[in-house]
Amino acid sequence: MAEFLTYKEKPLVRCKNEIYYGDMSDPYVIRFEILSSDNDIASKVSVQLLKSDIQLDMKDRIVKETTKNSMFEALDFGLVWLERALKG
C-alpha cells in the first residue's frame, strides 16, 4: 500500500492543481481545485464535498461546493464539511 501525506490522520493527495483529502474507504472526501494563484499562493480555490463512490458520475458525487479566496479558507470549509458528513 502506498504511503500518503496525512493531515489529522487522513490522507492528503495532490495531483497538479487538485488536492483530495480523506480516506476513500469513508463515504465522503473533499476535493480542492486551485483555480488561480499569485506567486505560487492559491488565490481562488474550489471546494467540493464528494461521495467517495467512484462508480457514480462526478455530478452525482458532488454533495456541496463553494469557491474561496485562499487555501486556508478552503481548508477551513472543507474540513468542517467532511467532519459533519462523516458524523451524520
Domain that holds residue 43: 5-87
Contact 29, 82 (CB under 8 A): yes
- Of the chain, the percentage scoring pLDDT greater than 70 comes to 98
State how far the Cα of 77 lies from the Cα of 58, in Å rounded to an integer. 20
Task: Enter the C-alpha cell of residue 48.
Answer: 467540493
Question: pLDDT band at residue 88, thresholds of 50, 70 and 90?
Answer: confident
Segment 4-13, tens digit of pLDDT? 898 888 999 9
Segment 26-52, tens digit of pLDDT? 999 999 999 999 888 899 999 999 999
State how far the Cα of 49 lies from the Cα of 65, in Å rounded to an integer. 6
Instruction: Specify the number of domains making up the chain.
Output: 1
Rg (CA), the chain: 13
Question: pLDDT band at residue 63, thresholds of 50, 70 and 90?
Answer: very high
Contact 70, 85 (CB under 8 A): no
- Enter the pTM of the model: 0.89
